[in-house]
Amino acid sequence: MISGQEALARLREGNRAFVANIPDPGATIRQARSNPLALAQQPFAIVLGCSDSRVPAELVFEQGFGDLFVIRVAGNIVAPSQVGSVEFAATRFGTRLAVVLGHTQCGAILATLEELRQPAPRQSPNLRSIVDRIRPSVEPLLATPLGQQPEALVAHAVRANIRAAADHLRHGSEILERLVSSNAMGCSSSAQSTVWRPGSSSFSMG
C-alpha cells in the first residue's frame, strides 16, 4: 500500500488530468472488467464527500474501479456510520490517506444557513440531523462581517464544515487518532480543506 503522501500526490495528479481533460488509460471502466476486483480490493485513498451529483470522487480525481474507498453523504458530514466506514477501510485495507471532499454551493450548507436565519417549523427529523451536524461549524460565521456577504459566507461555511469534519475524523475515533499519531495514516492540513467547484474546472486543497 502506498503512503499517505504518495496517495495525496496521486489524487492531485489525477485532478490535474481531469481539469485538463486528459484521459487516464489506467482509470477506465473497461480495464476494471478484467481486474480481479471481485475477490479483493486495495483502495489507496478514502474519500468522504458530499452526495451532490456534481461531485463524483472517481471522476474528479480521474480514478477507476478499486482505487478509492468513497463515502458519500449530504454535506460530507461525519456521523458514527461515516467514522466507522473510514475505520473499516483504514484497518481492513491498510489505506493510508483520508480526504474530506467538499464543494462550492453545497445544498446542505445552504439549507443550514437558511435554517439558522429562518427556522422551518416542520422540518423532517432526518433532514434536521444533517443540519445539526453542520450547524456548529457555520453558525459562528453569522456573527461576523461575513453575515452580510452572502457569497463569501457560503464559501467560508463550506471550508469551515470541511475542517470540522476532518477534525472529527482525527479526534473522534481512537483507531484513526492512533493511526495518525503513529504516522501510519495521513490526514494532512491540505487534505482537510479540499474544495471542488462544479462547472468551473477549479479545485483546491489547502
Question: CATH no. for residue 173?
Answer: 3.40.1050.10
- pLDDT tens digits, 118-146: 998 888 999 999 999 999 999 999 999 99
Strands ordered across the beta sheet of 45-49: 68-72, 45-49, 98-103, 194-197, 202-205
Q: What's the mean pLDDT in 180-190?
A: 65
Predicted confidence band of residue 184 (pLDDT cuts 50, 70, 90): confident
- pLDDT tens digits, 140-178: 999 999 999 999 999 999 999 999 999 999 898 999 999
Strand partners, 196: 103, 203
- pLDDT tens digits, 67-117: 999 999 999 999 999 999 999 999 999 999 999 999 988 999 999 999 999
Return the C-alpha cell found at 112: 443550514
Decide if 200 contacts 106 (C-beta within 8 A). no
Return the C-alpha cell found at 89: 477501510
Length of the chain: 206
Domain count, the chain: 1
* Buried-exposed string 3-14: b where 16+ CB fall within 10 A, e elsewhere: ebeebbebbeeb
Q: What's the mean pLDDT in 44-53?
A: 94
Predicted pLDDT at 201: 42
**Distance in angstroms (rounded) separating the CA atoms of residues 43 and 97:** 10
Predicted confidence band of residue 21 (pLDDT cuts 50, 70, 90): confident
Q: Report which secondary-structure segment, H or E, holds 70.
A: strand 68-72
Decide if 79 contacts 130 (C-beta within 8 A). no
Which residue range is the domain that position 35 belongs to? 4-205
Predicted confidence band of residue 202 (pLDDT cuts 50, 70, 90): very low
Predicted pLDDT at 193: 42
Predicted pLDDT at 190: 32
